[in-house]
Amino acid sequence: MYSFADEPSNLRITSNMKTSLHKLLLLLSALAALQVRAVAGDFQIRDGDHVVFLGDSITEQRLYTTYIEAYALTRHPQWKLTFRNVGWGGDTAWLRQRTHPDEGVLFAADSHVQQEMVEDSVGRGLKRDVLPLKPTLVTIKFGMNDHSYQPFREDIFRAYVRSQTQLAKVLEASGARLAFLTPQPIEEKRADPNQDVRNLSLRKFSDGLKEVAAKEGATFVDQFDPYMAMLVRERAANPPGFVGGGDTVHPGPIGHTVMAWAVLKGLGAPTLVSRAEIDAVAGKCVGSEDCRISELKVSDGKVSFDRLDEALPMPIDPKAERALELAPILDELSRYELKITGLPQGTYEVSIDGEAVGKVGTQDLTKGWNLTVNAGPVTRQARQLLSLVFQKNNTFFARWRDVQLYNFPGWARSPENETMRSAELSKLDHQIEQQEAQIDEARKPKSHHFELKPAG
């Protein structure tokens, strides 16, 4: 029989060496697992970020941006995050609403002249509205106005690509990371929105944006395709009204929730909120992630326990719950799970902190029940935070547009008025600071008492 003792002394593997090798293999395996987990969970929004949303009227609506902000705040309640929205209705990649370049000249110019115009327009617009906010991450959503609501035009497209490239160069030079977002499609009430000439044009603009992002090393997020797929599918069923709510160009909360889902997925947002698994036969918690289960009791088919989560589920705007039927939003962005095995077959009434939150069958409990939108006090806390974020964003918008950028007519310009402007800005800055402190307090998870008992 062959043995290690038969090996030459210079090749002999001792017991200590085998132990060390085993430890090394375990360490390498753990590091590999961590690396896979880091890649899989590489959320583009990070602790300490100053996030700025740059775009047109769809961004100015402060809907998809607020949903993204509320998601990040609830998923990472310990992170220090700041969000600002500088969307402007009618704006384009060359920031026409902020600097008003001559578009006729811009589109017709040769490469040299066009580059000079774009550098001037983009540079002045960013210097005034974005760079003072010291962003670490900027999402850029243009294209809807850029394509001029008409069949594809090569001259406009050329200016669009050059302008998006210039936005990237200036912002990256300031130290910011970038995420380019495509526009969502136009929604006319027709059976084939994918054949609308304007959407065919937006498709080409989106493809061009993807190339810019690749060349500039920026993140590219496609909202156009998933939103279009939703439109085509829903139009085939002939639903009344606009699928996304709102109007042809500006979706309502439903459409913006679908947009936020597409953007968050594109930014690498994690799925899991927290998960708890209880074995009712053994009477113990057999698994948990990002939550702690205590005071567990199982008796006569009844289960009760306390649960403290590390995060809150994604807040879903009550006006946008229809969006949950249009896209797998909860499955992909907010798995707030309770799994219980070993219970007698049947339906169970669930309460949290004494408040009835719904009924669930053993089949759903066995595979894992997602409570995101029906977790009673937990869901309510998340939605209250969403309301606070809306209030803060409205305050910042008023501060920026109505005070900071208010242009006094010539006859009213005076040192006294500028003094009053400065005082009003200071007051609003203090108000925003207080609102953000309130948001930080509101996003802290709390311990809750869960009870399940057979229905009826």
**pLDDT tens for each residue of 192-247:** 999 999 999 999 999 999 999 999 999 999 999 999 999 999 988 877 789 999 99
- Predicted pLDDT at 237: 86
Same domain, 181 and 285: no
Same domain, 423 and 354: yes
Tens digits of residue pLDDT in 322-347: 999 999 999 999 999 999 999 999 99
Q: Is residue 248 part of a domain?
A: yes
Pair of tokens at residue 369: 């029940």
Q: Is residue 59 part of a domain?
A: yes
Same domain, 134 and 223: yes
Stretch (H or E) spanning 20 = helix 15-40
Same domain, 281 and 400: yes
Same domain, 231 and 275: no
Same domain, 323 and 260: no
Same domain, 255 and 288: no
- Contacts (Cβ under 8 Å, ≥6 apart) of 60: 85, 87, 88, 89, 397
Same domain, 253 and 360: no
Query: Rounded to whole angstroms, how far apart are CA atoms 185 and 419?
Result: 45
Domain boundary among 227, 244, 266: 266
**How confident is the prediction for the chain on average, in pLDDT?**
92
Do 79 and 43 meet the contact criterion of CB atoms below 8 Å apart?
no
Same domain, 338 and 245: no
Q: Is residue 36 part of a domain?
A: no
User: Which percentage of the chain shows pLDDT scores above 70?
Assistant: 91
pTM of the model: 0.90
Query: Rounded to whole angstroms, how far apart are CA atoms 63 and 109?
Result: 36
Q: How many residues does the chain have?
A: 456
Same domain, 247 and 278: no
**CATH code at position 67:** 3.40.50.1110
How many domains are there within the chain? 2
Tens digits of residue pLDDT in 360-386: 999 999 999 999 999 999 999 999 999
* Closest residue by Cα to residue 340 from 447, 453, 449, 446: 453
**If phi over 0 gives left and psi between -120 and 50 gives alpha, with beta otherwise, what is residue 62?**
left
**Residue 66 domain boundaries:** 50-266
Q: Is residue 206 part of a domain?
A: yes
Same domain, 256 and 283: no
Q: Is residue 69 part of a domain?
A: yes
**Could you please report the per-residue DSSP string of 116-150?**
HHHHHHHHHHHHHHTGGG--SEEEEE--TTTTTTS
Q: Is residue 43 part of a domain?
A: no
Domain boundary among 224, 240, 266: 266
Domain boundary among 266, 291, 320: 266
Q: Is residue 338 part of a domain?
A: yes
Instruction: Identify the band that residue 13 occupies on the pLDDT scale cut at 50, 70 and 90.
Output: very low
Tens digits of residue pLDDT in 273-303: 999 999 999 999 999 999 999 999 999 889 9
Tens digits of residue pLDDT in 78-124: 999 999 999 999 999 999 999 999 999 999 999 999 999 999 999 99
Same domain, 113 and 73: yes
Tens digits of residue pLDDT in 167-178: 999 999 999 999
Pair of tokens at residue 100: 């008003």
Q: Is residue 137 part of a domain?
A: yes
Pair of tokens at residue 390: 């809306």
Tens digits of residue pLDDT in 23-69: 444 444 434 433 333 333 489 999 999 999 999 999 999 999 999 99
- Report angle CA 336, 393, 132 to the nearest 5 degrees: 115
In 41-174, where does DSSP find H-type helix?
57-60, 64-75, 96-99, 103-108, 111-129, 154-173
Do 93 and 212 meet the contact criterion of CB atoms below 8 Å apart?
no
- Predicted pLDDT at 238: 77
